[in-house]
Structure 1
Amino acid sequence: SKLIIFFNSIKSLIAKILFDFQIPITLIIILTICSLNDMGTELVGNPVATGMYFAFGYSLYKNNELFHNIIHNWKYYFLSAILFFLIHTLIEEEYISMDFEQSPVFWIPFIFIKICNSILFSFSFIGLAENKFGSYNSISRFCSDGAYWMYLIHLPIVTFITFFMFQFEFFTEFKFLLAIILTTFICLITYKFFVRSTYIGILLNGRKYPFKWNNFK
């Protein structure tokens, strides 16, 4: 009907304005505006801003031109993201002075830098993954299939390991690396034995694989 055609046209126009540019300045500006309050960018606290990330991901795979551009130019997105990350870190560590209490207007460039950092890293990692890991590899496929499961369970595991290590006088950097290694190991093992070959695997990935002890295929 004409109404459906009209809504599809509006949807396509919005997607083009937000997501079709090689330098996603429109998306960055809108996300900056949506994040200027105290809600942050988390899903529960700020569903509008977070929803735009999901919308971008959904639209990306329908936009071959932008998708191939991201794959081809991922290095430039990554270098730009590093630059914004360094600026953000310098502000956080107060090497660059910004008195947010006396001058709340400083929140605007700070949030803008933070959003640039997030968007450009997203672009670069998507491009890197497609550029370097696009061909089939059984280990990469295993980790990719297990990503959703690991996303769901990693937080309580990280929390438990972190609190457990409070009692030990290790270097913080060592605790950090140990937490990453242990969490990754637990996530992979639980995915292998409790998810990949069970009905949970169907729920998370749409299929289950025959169980094999001796490999990660």
Structure 2
Amino acid sequence: MHDERYHALDNLRALVMWLGIVLHVAVQHMAGPSDLPWRDSQTTPWADLLLVWIHNFRVPVFFILAGFFAAMLVARSDVRGMISHRIKRIALPFALFWPLLFVAMSLLINVYIQLMKTGQPGLDLSLLGKGTDTRAPGGDRPFINTLHLWFIYYLLLYCLLALPVSRLMAKLGSGFKRNLSGIGDTLIGHWWGLLLLSVPLALVGSAYPYGMVTPDGSFVPNIYEFLHSGVFFLVGWRCYLCRESLFAAWNRYLWRLLTAAILFFIASLVCFEIAKQGVLPQWQGRLLIAYVYNCSTWLWSFFFIGLFLRYASGNNRVMRYLSDSSYWVYLVHMLGTLGFGILLYQAPLSALEKMAVNTVLTSLACLISYHLMVRYSVIGKLLNGRKYPRNQSGQVQQGTGAPDLNENKG
């Protein structure tokens, strides 16, 4: 399987990155409390439910796949080669896009807040730097933050850590490494292992309201967030090393995974309600929610991996296009969700109608901008490792296949 391209995992990675549009539209229409300073005038509890469900698996799946592909890059080259690749595909796009996105998003958020306060869009520059929230333990969200790009910021840090960790592992005895690998394979390969893997995640989550880890966006890594996402990255790394048996198991037990995921997710919603009613002491309530919620997270994550391995493993042209566009969509989609949110704020539509319209318009804007500005340009080569050529008539030349996985963004 050394030279095999994992189209199914490419397609799944594209899905979780595209889901950012749905998530960041839904957050504007939450009926419950929100840490963000902007919100539409129309709200619905369906937005809360959708947000909780997507949050349950989106980030974990991303980091599991990121760890998987990082381990694959190490196997095909070495740790230094993997780091060099990630610097090109992650650090450079982050450095180039973050300043532009920070300015644009700050202005759009300012306009949104003014629209909420006065009923008219406008700019109040005195508000810049004051729109903080308190999602993470230890203080407010910093004004200068990583935005939604914290995904790739943390991923880059994990990849950089692989070098000192690999040197440390080289100094350990073969017996210790064999035992460590055996423990990892046992935890990942057995259903009860997921119950144990949820324990450290629950301990981290218990430090957050309702047991859910949410990013603070700080450039100084938050230890809670770093440990939480790091567990998924490490599991993804180990998944690559025992991928054949795991892929077979997830495929074989696909519908059992789905059933268990639904049951645990429903149980986590029940735990939310229990916590709201104050039946349990605050810390114990958060711990209970975090444990059940993270059990659901593992089940959803492995279910979606198995689902795509079974039904979306081919080199489909449409899915290939969406996968190629997903990095660009991830980078710029917040401009669309915020911009169209402002335009729709006073529209005579229900919350669900606004969510649907915003999602469609943002998706179209992202696809059109990708096709016109990115796919055939140097930006496309920066993000995906290749620039699709045009022939002299302006039509796309049909290639012989998708680029090698080493050129994917991870």
TM-score by length of 2: 0.46
Cα displacement (A) at 1:17? 5.1
CA gap of 1:88–1:25, structure 2 versus 1, over 3 A, is: closer
* Residues 71, 187 of structure 1: alpha-carbon distance in 2 compared, 3 angstrom cutoff: farther
Letter in 1 for 2:281: S
* 2-structure distance, mates of 1:73, 1:115: 19
1:35 has 2:205 as partner:
yes
Which of residues 308, 317, 337 in structure 2 aligns to 1:129? 308
Q: How far apart are the structure 1 equivalents of 2:191 and 2:254?
A: 11
Change (3 A) 1:115 1:100: farther
Pair 1:197 & 2:197 matched: no
Task: Report the secondary structure of 1:61's partner residue.
Answer: helix
**C-alpha separation in 2, matches of 1:211 and 1:88:** 50
1:71 touches 1:131 (CA, 8 Å); kept in 2?
yes
Distance apart, 1:129 and its partner CA: 1.3
Q: CA RMSD in A?
A: 3.0
Counterpart Cα distance in 2 of 1:184 and 1:216? 25
CA shift in 2, pair 1:167/1:137, >3 Å: same
| CA distance in structure 2 between the partners assigned to 1:97 and 1:35 by the alignment | 14
Higher relative contact order (CA 8 A, sep 6+): 2
Q: Which residue of 1 aligns with 2:185?
A: 16
SS in 2 for 1:170: coil
| Structure 1 unpaired stretches of 5+ | none
Correspondence for 1:3: 171
Distance 1:197 1:101, change over 3 A: farther
Aligned residues of 2:389 and 2:397 also touching (Cα < 8 A): no
Which stretch has the larger CA shift, 58-67 or 123-132? 58-67
Shift of the 163–188 alpha-carbon distance from structure 1 to 2, 3 Å rule, reads same
1:189 maps to a residue whose letter is I
What is the TM-score of this pair, normalised by structure 1?
0.82
Aligned length, in residue pairs: 215
- Relative distance call for 1:129 and 1:113 in structure 2 (3 A) is same
**Residue in structure 1 matched with residue 356 of structure 2 by the alignment:** 177
* 1:107 Cα deviation after fit: 1.6
- Residue in structure 1 matched with residue 286 of structure 2 by the alignment: 107
Residue 156 of structure 2 corresponds to none
| Aligned-residue offset at 1:4 | 5.4
Equivalent residue number for residue 47 of structure 2: none
Q: Secondary structure at the match of 2:241?
A: coil
Q: CA deviation at 1:101?
A: 8.2
